Amino acid sequence: MQRLVQLALDLFDPPPASAGATAPVSPPATPKSGPKVPLPRQGRSGGATENIAEAVPAAPVAPLVPTAPVADPPAARTPAMHTPGVPLPSLLSPAEFRHPQANREVLLGDAVVGYALTRARRRTIGFTVGADGLAVRAPSWVTLSAVDAALREKADWILRKLSEARERQQRMEGGRIVWAHGAVLPYLGEPLTVVLDPSHGFTGKGGALVSAAPASPPQEPGAAAPEGAAPTEARSLHIGLPHSASPAQIRDAVQAWLMRDARRHFTARLDHFAPLLGVRWASLRLSSAQTRWGSAKADGSIRLNWRLLHYRPAIIDYVVAHELAHLRVMDHSPRFWDTVATVVPDYAQLRSHLREEPAPLW
């Protein structure tokens, strides 16, 4: 029995530093990350474009001061590190988080974390937890063991953020829209049912929004309606397609309608907030970006993501006001946020909701 335990421990203990051949760490493709601190970037017109919120929120980069420079130890393969004090049974079936471009792994607590390591010209070790997992950027002179030590120092934070990112992705997958007759998607924060209606005039190219007559909430037979109960309104989008239409045809028809309605809604809100902020906007373009909700340039051009139509009007108003405020302040200084607050006082709560509640997957 003692020999069996010793063999099991040998499987998880790293080999001596002298074993294996030296191999440089190849930088992977630039990993996706979650939302970064928005910084202005120069646009073609000389203005600044910026990111106000990410579709896939993530933890910010956390820099750590590296250890003294020493050469990387030779290694044929980078093994998972055995964390002292972790019981053997938890090592036999650990949880696993793996970045798509992972080229290194480490054992943090009872979880194996495969991360994407990139060597960069910088003075500190930085890491980002995003939708894809953990990405690490480190100076070329920092050893692999020093990188792993830095990650183990922040293990609790990293594992918590990785778990949150995984749970968020699972929620998004659970809310994926199934394109068929009767599909339900959020529209201005309320459910909208897709109805395939061949009698509709715009076959496959649009739809008509239909609101049913207000109805009282469903009740048990014989039960009296609760006092003060507000009636509910069911809304449906009638698309001129037969019931034999493919999921792609249904999706494209719904998207075409949503994009037209988004332009109408966004234009009205831009016209509402621009005079209040003392600015003039010049043009509106709809965006299908996966990583940003809107942007603005100094020449007055505005870009807004049509998927914002999934959210309730107050959240859309925050994004519209945010972009218009950049026509006065092209950064995210306190003066900028004070400008936003003049027209959307509760912008912080709305911004938080936009970050935490993902739009449905299409």
Q: Report which of residues 259 and 83 the model is more confident about.
A: 259
Q: Report which of residues 301 and 233 the model is more confident about.
A: 301
* Helical H segments across 71-119, by residue range: 88-92
Q: Are strands 111-120 and 95-98 parallel, antiparallel or unpaired?
A: parallel
Distance (Å, rounded) from C-alpha 188 to C-alpha 195?
18
Token code pair at residue 264: 């109408």
Q: Is the pLDDT of residue 228 over 50?
A: no
Contact 127, 61 (CB under 8 A): yes
What local confidence, expressed as pLDDT, does residue 145 receive?
92
Share of the chain above pLDDT 70, in %: 64
Contact 280, 300 (CB under 8 A): yes
**Taking the C-alpha atoms of 180, 185, 188 and 191 in order, what is their torsion angle to the nearest 10 degrees?**
100
What local confidence, expressed as pLDDT, does residue 2 receive?
44
Mean pLDDT (the chain) is: 74
Model pLDDT for residues 348-362, shown as the tens digit of each residue: 999 998 888 878 888
- β-pair partners for 48: 42
**Residue type for position 302:** I
Contact 294, 351 (CB under 8 A): no
Token look-up 């950049």 returns: 326
Share of the chain above pLDDT 90, in %: 46
Maximum average pLDDT range among 5-9, 13-17, 226-230, 306-310: 306-310
Q: Averaged over 66-86, what is the pLDDT?
A: 43
Lowest mean pLDDT among 78-82, 132-136, 138-142, 312-316: 78-82
Q: Report which of residues 150 and 31 the model is more confident about.
A: 150
